[in-house]
Amino acid sequence: MLSAFIKKDLLHLLRDKKEVLILLAMPFVLITILGFALGSNSSEEITLNAQVAVLDQGDLQTDLEKFNEWMLSENIPEEARTQILEAAEQTSLPELLVDTVMKEELQDLLKVKEETDLDTTLNNDEYAGVLQFPEGLRLETWKGQFFKQETTKDLQLYLNEDKGLEASVISDVVEDFTNQMRLQTVLTQEAQQSNQAPPDFKSIAQVTSETVTVDGKVPVNSFGYFAVGMSTMFALYVVSFVAGYAYSEKATFVYDRILLTNTNPWMYASSKWFSAVLICFLQLCALYGLAAIIYQVIWSDILAFLTITLFFSFVVGSMAVLITALNYRFETQRVSTMFSGFLVSVFAFLGGSFVPWNEVSDTMLTIASYTPNGAALQGYLKILSGGELSQVTSNLFRLVVVSIALLLIAIPIFPKRRLI
């Protein structure tokens, strides 16, 4: 009897082309769009070729001499002056940003050209951005960095709005660099207070591709992340499908006829659990299979992958039973409709389907780990980044607890035979 109920649900799904599109086509389309929009799994280098003009109105050696003279006037000991001057030369803002970052590390993305006249340069539409280092910027930066004096001068960045992507890249590079400079300034001041050597500034700024790294292992590219994110999100739509179909059976008196055959109501509820588990498991395997074939999202540990897929499917099955019970209890399909129209989006956001919380907020990452899709997502990412089954035991435990808890909630809610 149980196998007949499960077969009936599977046949109904195969006949429902709209539901098949939602469960398989839509997530794969989103994986493709987000994967290409936010990164690439290709090994080819990105060639942006953004033109950047640099106007440096100061001079490194001249500013070092002025800084030395200023420290002499402040009665700074010679030994301290020597160490500070060496650190100041290493941390010269224009040299680090332009020579090290833009000309060396990002030479395939940015083309830097020296200019002297600001007005003429700003009128040149070939430039996506213009960097201006005003006279005395180095000197004031060093005073603030080593002696905590207030600075009144900043580098000026002018962006060409007609070159949106190129201008955005330049803006991000400069912003990231200046943020790291502020961090290094704090570290330098702490080192001085504890009489330690200043930190090394040679690798102050690095620009990486769009990847998500889990536990310091193999980085997961955007296709890998969104394959997991979209799959765990759209797996939740299995819940509304199974629960909605179950209510339609009640509305059309199919459920009543099943009860007339002396079938236990919990046999029927169990069939919904098994149907949801099976559909979810097959859906996830299909999506990840396509991602592996087309976008090379490869799982290093197949056993761990199948285990977490099965455990996540258990949660989806328990959710389907609970939503079915609520539909039957309140005699309305609005519960499953609200679940698919609202709660799925909430779970997807909190769980990290759209945002890699490990790069944004530790608090949100913790919250995500306690949502069923978030626990599965984090487990998948650990496996995808080279982890093993032993490293996702905490994720599996959460999924088991959630699955059992949902079933325990559903048991008293599901109507007994006499209430139908």
What pTM did the predictor assign?
0.58
Q: Bigger pLDDT: 111 or 6?
A: 111
Asked whether 372 and 309 are in contact (CB, 8 A), the reply is: no
Does the structure show a pLDDT above 60 at 316?
A: yes
Does the structure show a pLDDT above 60 at 29?
A: yes
Q: 103: which residues sit within 8 A by CB, 6+ positions away?
A: 110, 112
Model confidence pLDDT, tens digit, residues 373-394: 999 999 999 898 888 888 899 9
- Grade residue 346 by pLDDT with cuts at 50, 70 and 90: very high
Average pLDDT, the chain: 82
Predicted local confidence at residue 184, as pLDDT:
67
What is the edge-to-edge ordering of all strands in the sheet holding 50-56?
Answer: 110-114, 50-56, 129-133, 156-159
Predicted local confidence at residue 186, as pLDDT:
64
**Helices 78-90, 137-147: inter-axial angle, 10-degree rounding:** 120
Distance CA 87, CA 89 (A): 5
Residue 211: count of CB within 10 angstroms of its CB:
16
Asked whether 399 and 324 are in contact (CB, 8 A), the reply is: no
Predicted local confidence at residue 14, as pLDDT:
76
Predicted local confidence at residue 360, as pLDDT:
77
Predicted local confidence at residue 200, as pLDDT:
52
10 Å CB burial of residue 185 (0-12, 13-18, 19+) is middle
Does the structure show a pLDDT above 90 at 273?
A: yes
Q: What is the DSSP letter of 305?
A: H
Q: 18: which residues sit within 8 A by CB, 6+ positions away?
A: none
In this structure, the strands spanning 156-159 and 129-133 are antiparallel
Spell out the SS3 assignment of 90-111: HCCHHHHHHHHHHHHHCCCCEE
Q: Which pair of structure tokens corresponds to residue 165? A: 């992507």
**What percent of the chain is modeled with pLDDT above 90?**
30
Predicted local confidence at residue 350, as pLDDT:
92
Does the structure show a pLDDT above 70 at 420?
A: no
- For residues 28-51, give the mean pLDDT: 67
SS3 175: helix
Residue 50: count of CB within 10 angstroms of its CB:
22
Say how far residue 63 (Cα) sits from the centre of its chain.
43
Q: Which pair of structure tokens corresponds to residue 55? A: 């106007």
Range of lowest pLDDT (76-85, 206-215, 255-264): 206-215
Residue 311's nearest CA partner among 392, 231, 399, 236 is 399
Predicted local confidence at residue 207, as pLDDT:
39
DSSP code string of 250-284: HHTTHHHHHHHTT--HHHHHHHHHHHHHHHHHHHH
- Grade residue 216 by pLDDT with cuts at 50, 70 and 90: very low
- Grade residue 218 by pLDDT with cuts at 50, 70 and 90: low
- For residues 293-302, give the mean pLDDT: 89
Does the structure show a pLDDT above 70 at 219?
A: no
Predicted local confidence at residue 189, as pLDDT:
58
Q: How far apart are the first and last CA of the chain?
A: 20
Asked whether 78 and 18 are in contact (CB, 8 A), the reply is: no
Q: Which pair of structure tokens corresponds to residue 142? A: 């060093």
Model confidence pLDDT, tens digit, residues 138-169: 888 888 877 878 777 888 899 887 776 678 78
Q: Which pair of structure tokens corresponds to residue 408? A: 């325990």
**What percent of the chain is modeled with pLDDT above 70?**
86
Asked whether 50 and 110 are in contact (CB, 8 A), the reply is: yes
Q: 124: which residues sit within 8 A by CB, 6+ positions away?
A: 53
Give the count of alpha carbons within 13 A of 379, CB side only: 30
Predicted local confidence at residue 388, as pLDDT:
85
Rg of the chain's alpha carbons, rounded to an integer?
Answer: 30
Asked whether 268 and 5 are in contact (CB, 8 A), the reply is: yes
Strand partners, 55: 132
Q: What is the total residue count of the chain?
A: 420
